Amino acid sequence: MALSACMQYHSPSRDTWNQYLYGASFMDMTETARAAKMPIYMGHGGKVITQTGELSTKMQYGDKNSIDNAVLVNYMSRLEYELYDALRKPGISVQRAGTDVVVVLVRDAIMKQNIPDISPDGADTLKIISKILNKYNATFLEIAGYTDSMKDKNAAYALSLDMAQRTGVYFAQHNVSTSRMFIVGRGAARPIAAQDDIGRLTNRRVEIRISPAR
């Protein structure tokens, strides 16, 4: 369901999230998990990168593995550059991790202060990402939420999962197939900054890891 750009976005009621996220996997996006999800992904119209029309006439001859790797690298590089050009905003970074592309969204860049909902600027950002994900749709997505170090580990996990799920719901509302999604909350694991006042704000974040379907 596409939402009107002129209306301020609000996350739907939590008791409807399962409907929006039906088909998503709530686990880490490991190689084994991707392989297990592939039949579901393909059954929902998914495709691998070599089926995207990326194969040029010049690349039709030669070793198949080399050609497939060249197609994959070109596809993911263009995805990375398009995200980088579109997301030049504070609190947002686009990184390369092997063949994967990772978008890091500090919580304050996409969500309201002290309120568990997506901000107007965050909605604009996620809409841009949604459009690019739909363009480069031969990919899987891991949407992972993280927090700063909190005394209550259960609260940290719940907050991190809430951020990840809200992001996944937004994507689902903007036609990103849930058959591509892995959604996880990781609490205070993997801090990327010091646990001081500024660092805590950075550690509260959503990371979207985009992996090629192959």
Q: Are 206 and 105 in contact (CB under 8 A)?
A: yes
Q: Would you list the domain boundaries of the chain?
A: 16-212
The structure's pTM equals 0.90
* Cβ contacts of 129 within 8 Å, gap of 6 or more: 83, 86, 87, 103, 171, 208
Q: In which band, very low, low, confident or very high, does the pLDDT at 78 lie, cut at 50, 70 and 90?
A: very high
Please state the rounded mean pLDDT for residues 64-71. 76
What's the pLDDT score for residue 150? 76
The CATH number for 16-212, chosen from 3.30.450.90, 3.40.50.170, 3.30.360.10, 3.30.1330.60, is 3.30.1330.60
Give percent of the chain above pLDDT 90: 71
pLDDT above 90 (res 50): no
